[in-house]
Amino acid sequence: MNMVSCIKEMLPSPLYSFIDGEIPPEELRMRRGCRVLLKKDGISVATALICTDELMDQTLLGLTNRSFYSHEDTIREGYIPLPGGLRAGVCGRAVCEKGRILQVKDISSLILRIPRRIPHIETPLLEKMRETRFQCGTLLYSPPGVGKTTVLRELACTLSGKFQKNIALIDCRGELSAGLKECAGLSVFLHYPKSTAISIALRTMAPDMIILDEVGAEETEELLLCGNGGVPVVASVHGNSLAELKKRKSTEALLRSGMFGIFAGLTRSGQKTNFVFEEF
């Protein structure tokens, strides 16, 4: 079953038509009492369909396979994991104790992000990496929803396939490896904590390169080990510019370490993804 068919099986019938078509939307966004929004080519458009309480509840039942409470752990983290690398982000009313979320009730908003393959989207970045003979770390940045994960997904496929590199792909939420099947040189660490996966990959998998999405301060120590051990890292982070990242405490140590030599910003205009390369 392909990804679109899988999505349709989970959604109530009023939402079917939005997923049909040769190119499905990038996002489907729902909020109780408001129009359902679709995002295509980076632009959100309001549909005529209102997200009623009944529609939201039916959608949540479908996405959780009629077992909302069995997904409470991830719902507390803000998402529902779905088959095929899909994920639905959710938010509502949190029940807290001493700063810790015990439960999330009354889900009010939901966003379904639909990963897709876009062959050759990674080409400008790949050419830049080839100039360094793939020996240089790369940091990819943009605001959310511009295409960082899509670029990393295609890059992992091309490097492990065409260029026969041994790639350790750290995919803690199941999005990064979505749709990647026949890539012999790809070792996918699925649902591992990032820092643990990086450590295991270095010790056991002898990777030529490690690729991961959305790095943070929690992974700094392990990522620095990659840099010191001569294993290039390709990572992404939310940000508008290199200047902004330099001021951020969570990325300061990584930037100062010198483990990244290529800095690539992403912008979006319609269906086209643009790369902006900056010098440190």
pLDDT, tens only, 221-250: 999 999 888 999 999 999 999 999 999 988
Domain that includes residue 191, residue range: 123-278
Q: Which two tokens stand for residue 101?
A: 């979320």
Asked whether the predicted pLDDT for residue 2 surpasses 70, the reply is no
pLDDT band at 28 (very low <50, low <70, confident <90, very high): very high
One domain, residues 59 and 180: no
Q: Distances in Å between the alpha carbon of 9 and those of 12, 47, 101, 185?
A: 8, 21, 31, 32
One domain, residues 145 and 268: yes
One domain, residues 101 and 133: no
Q: Distances in Å between the alpha carbon of 108 and those of 94, 98, 126?
A: 11, 24, 41
In a domain, 163, yes or no: yes
One domain, residues 134 and 227: yes
Rounded Cα gap, residues 97 and 107, in angstroms: 19
Pick the residue with more confidence: 83 or 151? 151
In a domain, 214, yes or no: yes
Listed residues 94, 113, 132: the one ending a domain: 113
pLDDT number for residue 179: 78
Q: What is the per-residue DSSP string for 49-66? A: EE--HHHHHHHHHHHTTT
> Can you give the CATH number for the domain in which 84 is found?
3.30.450.90
Q: Which two tokens stand for residue 188?
A: 């996918």
Q: For a pLDDT cut of 70, what percent of the chain falls above it?
A: 98
Listed residues 88, 113, 138: the one ending a domain: 113
Span 58-113, pLDDT tens digits = 999 999 999 988 999 999 999 998 887 688 999 999 999 999 999 999 999 999 98
In a domain, 118, yes or no: no
Amino acid at 111: I
Q: What is the number of domains present in the chain?
A: 2
One domain, residues 212 and 127: yes
One domain, residues 180 and 144: yes
In a domain, 25, yes or no: yes
| CB of 187 closer than 8 Å to CB of 154 | no
pLDDT band at 33 (very low <50, low <70, confident <90, very high): very high
One domain, residues 50 and 184: no
One domain, residues 109 and 146: no
Amino acid at 93: R
Q: What is the chain's mean pLDDT, rounded?
A: 91
